[in-house]
Chains A and B, each alone.
Chain A
């Protein structure tokens, strides 16, 4: 109760301060949109947002791709630290398979279109990559084995491709005595397209990998699973705190927030 009252007080103060900030806002002195419009011709693309993202403020985008790669590197490290049970993902449902068979080619086409459209109208690498990842996730839900995760070396290379190409282009410009990320005159459009292509592939693979690298449901310590689903590969499992599934009677301890999934109190018993 005290926590709710404190939270309410904090949020009211917070909202009040922000409201004052909005009401008292001065008129901006610097007109950046005009500067963007004035230099758009030299940016190599026609769409102002893409120009800002991949030319004027390309350094931000470079670091943003580094953040994305970093997230998947941490997920890879944790996957290595905590081996998962064999992957049993996939619903054996003919209808789902049929629908996905029709849908996935369409999604790939959409991704390609979004990538291409980015130069002139809304679209771009992240949107295209997200659609690619969605196609991958649906294939995985349908239980289709995806290529690209074996061997791991190739997988890692695919993840790193976007940042590597982006960094290589930027460094090439730096070596050519320009500035870092300063595209040579006349090449900006082509280089941006090449970067976007690499980014799309890497972003798609990264989002899909992050989805894949969470432990599978078979390893859920509170779920009702039969002994066969938890094979002996991961003996270290819930012993770390010694609590295991003991708390599964508390519905809030379910991984889903509804708390209506079946639970088994002794799920932490050694396999």
Chain B
């Protein structure tokens, strides 16, 4: 399998998986996931190897080169994201295979929806065409909404409806931007747009609309209202997938647009605005997380806060020396990867704690430390990464962002980074304080099946261990981007 073929296979296999698990008898759906994950993982590994040895890989779909056709392009960032998808989604699938056993018939539809979601994610990582990204976004949004609605309860349906409205509005704003760009430049290919785009009003309005739509889909403060009910109310493996990967996809598109068009076109005020909203998200999300009484809602608000850090990239990389911009890039990519791992781990661990306590109220966790130490350990390790304590991936990411801010002398953002870590410590320790309290009422908790504990622990260890080997993913994900040289 060549790198170029692997690029196509990493979209084909999940789509075929969606079809197969829709048509297979319900009992087979779970088992089908094994070969499908293996094949998708294989394609991602082959692709990553090809990118690292031979530079960016392109696949002209239908044999037509862009701009007439659509190309799939994988540089280091895209191949790294596909790899991250495998690393996060595989434990979530293992978790789901065990977790869904006790659930209704309807939860069998988790599998086709998961594969549609995976196809959409890989499609987005490799897309190099702004309209194709729109179709990918819609596929991703509808799959995510379907997964949220899967419970069928009133709460789940309301969360799905709210999420769907936000997703539809976001993609429409994005599509309007695409319409303006095509009308102005006559091409939809990202590299063609990068070559022709000039800093003038139409382009800026188009980019503003696209950024607005993507910010809504990434739940950037103050457009985050749809996220906590959707992520907090879904089935546990769904929450993990949504928080770890789905919201990252729209941020990734924003990052791609910025790389292709931003430096020349985006005014510095827009970057500062995104950074300010990101900072507000850090504090507002942490504050709301601290106030929650239900465990998964707390973790969902923590996602709102952590997404804020990603938006600090824009002010830290705009109008600064190249070295500072490169540090900001590394820090943001690492923050993205470590948050994906840590948040998936945290949601899975929270699901285990909820299974153990039989309730999702934080106050019911009293006494948990004595009986379910392993679940709590996974939760804590994920928390270490979210707070940014060494040696976790979260720490390395913040360290790089801090260095970038120091190098460019932007002190305001340093305050956000430091205080934001304290704010996340507040809500993580809130959970711990409760679970170390001696429970007056009960001395028995249900044990979650070992596979569930294992999935959460593996992701949590990965998020902490990432800090020790951060150079490897960072070097890989720089390959082929503008930050690749030197």
Direct contact of A and B (CB under 8 A): yes
User: B184 is contacted by which of A26, A74, A157, A174 (Cβ under 8 Å)?
Assistant: A26
Interface assignment of A100: CB less than 8 Å from any CB of chain B:
no
B199 to chain A: closest CB distance in Å? 11
Q: Determine whether the beta carbon of B113 is less than 8 Å from that of A57.
A: no
Interface assignment of B69: CB less than 8 Å from any CB of chain A:
yes
B-contacting 9-mer, from A27-35, A87-95, A110-118: A27-35
Q: Determine whether the beta carbon of A32 is less than 8 Å from that of B67.
A: yes
User: B12 is contacted by which of A71, A153, A174 (Cβ under 8 Å)?
Assistant: A174
* Residues in A neighbouring B35, C-beta threshold 8 A: none
Alpha-carbon gap, A71 to B476, bound state (A): 36
Q: A80-B109, A181-B62 are in contact. Are A35 and B146 (CB under 8 A)?
A: no
B-contacting 9-mer, from A14-22, A128-136, A203-211, A224-232: A14-22
Q: Determine whether the beta carbon of B12 is less than 8 Å from that of A67.
A: no
Q: A74-B146, A240-B154 are in contact. Are A66 and B63 (CB under 8 A)?
A: no
Q: Determine whether the beta carbon of A70 is less than 8 Å from that of B19.
A: no
Q: Determine whether the beta carbon of B19 is less than 8 Å from that of A160.
A: yes
Q: A59-B70, A63-B139, A240-B153 are in contact. Are A26 and B61 (CB under 8 A)?
A: no
* Interface SS, B side: helix
Interface assignment of A245: CB less than 8 Å from any CB of chain B:
no
Mask: chain A, 53-90; 1 = CB below 8 Å from B; 0 = not: 00111111011101101110110111011100000000
* Residues in A neighbouring B64, C-beta threshold 8 A: 39, 55-56
Interface assignment of A268: CB less than 8 Å from any CB of chain B:
no
Interface assignment of A163: CB less than 8 Å from any CB of chain B:
yes
B-contacting 9-mer, from A142-150, A164-172, A249-257, A259-267: A164-172
Mask: chain B, 144-175; 1 = CB below 8 Å from A; 0 = not: 01100111111101000000000000000000
Nearest-neighbor residue (CB-CB) of B134 within chain A: A60
* Residues in A neighbouring B119, C-beta threshold 8 A: 66
Q: A28-B186, A153-B23, A160-B19 are in contact. Are A241 and B116 (CB under 8 A)?
A: no
Q: Determine whether the beta carbon of A157 is less than 8 Å from that of B23.
A: yes
Alpha-carbon gap, A189 to B38, bound state (A): 35
Nearest-neighbor residue (CB-CB) of B151 within chain A: A81
Interface assignment of B131: CB less than 8 Å from any CB of chain A:
yes
Interface hits, B6-51 → A, CB 8 Å:
8-9, 11-12, 15-16, 18-19, 22-23
Interface assignment of A246: CB less than 8 Å from any CB of chain B:
no
Interface assignment of B135: CB less than 8 Å from any CB of chain A:
yes
Interface hits, A192-251 → B, CB 8 Å:
240-241
Alpha-carbon gap, A55 to B69, bound state (A): 8
Alpha-carbon gap, A17 to B180, bound state (A): 12
Nearest-neighbor residue (CB-CB) of A18 within chain B: B205
Interface assignment of A3: CB less than 8 Å from any CB of chain B:
no
Alpha-carbon gap, A52 to B404, bound state (A): 45
* Residues in B neighbouring A22, C-beta threshold 8 A: 202
Nearest-neighbor residue (CB-CB) of A160 within chain B: B19
A215 to chain B: closest CB distance in Å? 11
Interface assignment of A101: CB less than 8 Å from any CB of chain B:
no
B156 to chain A: closest CB distance in Å? 9
Q: Determine whether the beta carbon of B104 is less than 8 Å from that of A80.
A: yes
A76 to chain B: closest CB distance in Å? 7
Alpha-carbon gap, A80 to B19, bound state (A): 18
Interface assignment of B286: CB less than 8 Å from any CB of chain A:
no
Q: Determine whether the beta carbon of B105 is less than 8 Å from that of A179.
A: no
Interface assignment of A183: CB less than 8 Å from any CB of chain B:
yes
Q: Determine whether the beta carbon of A58 is less than 8 Å from that of B106.
A: no
User: B69 is contacted by which of A20, A26, A56 (Cβ under 8 Å)?
Assistant: A56
Interface assignment of B408: CB less than 8 Å from any CB of chain A:
no
Q: A73-B112, A160-B23 are in contact. Are A39 and B12 (CB under 8 A)?
A: no
Alpha-carbon gap, A73 to B150, bound state (A): 11
Q: Determine whether the beta carbon of B62 is less than 8 Å from that of A56.
A: yes
Q: Determine whether the beta carbon of B205 is less than 8 Å from that of A58.
A: no
Q: Determine whether the beta carbon of B70 is less than 8 Å from that of A74.
A: no
* Residues in A neighbouring B131, C-beta threshold 8 A: 57, 60
Q: Determine whether the beta carbon of A30 is less than 8 Å from that of B196.
A: yes
Interface hits, B201-216 → A, CB 8 Å:
201-202, 205-206, 208-209
Q: Determine whether the beta carbon of A156 is less than 8 Å from that of B109.
A: no
* Residues in B neighbouring A157, C-beta threshold 8 A: 23
* Residues in B neighbouring A49, C-beta threshold 8 A: none
Query: Measuring CB to CB, which residues of chain A are less than 8 angstroms from any residue of chain B?
Result: 17-18, 20-22, 24-26, 28-32, 35-36, 39, 55-60, 62-64, 66-67, 69-71, 73-74, 76-78, 80-82, 153, 156-157, 159-160, 163-164, 167, 170-171, 174, 178-183, 240-241
Top 9 A-B pairs, shortest CB-CB distance? A81-B152, A28-B186, A182-B63, A74-B146, A240-B154, A77-B109, A81-B106, A180-B8, A21-B205
| A-B contacts besides A59-B132, A73-B113, A181-B63, 12 pairs, CB < 8 Å | A25-B183, A26-B198, A26-B200, A28-B184, A35-B68, A66-B116, A73-B146, A159-B22, A167-B15, A174-B9, A181-B62, A240-B155
17 contacts between A and B (CB under 8 A): A21-B205, A30-B187, A59-B132, A60-B135, A66-B15, A73-B18, A73-B112, A73-B113, A81-B104, A81-B150, A159-B22, A167-B19, A174-B5, A179-B8, A180-B11, A180-B59, A241-B154
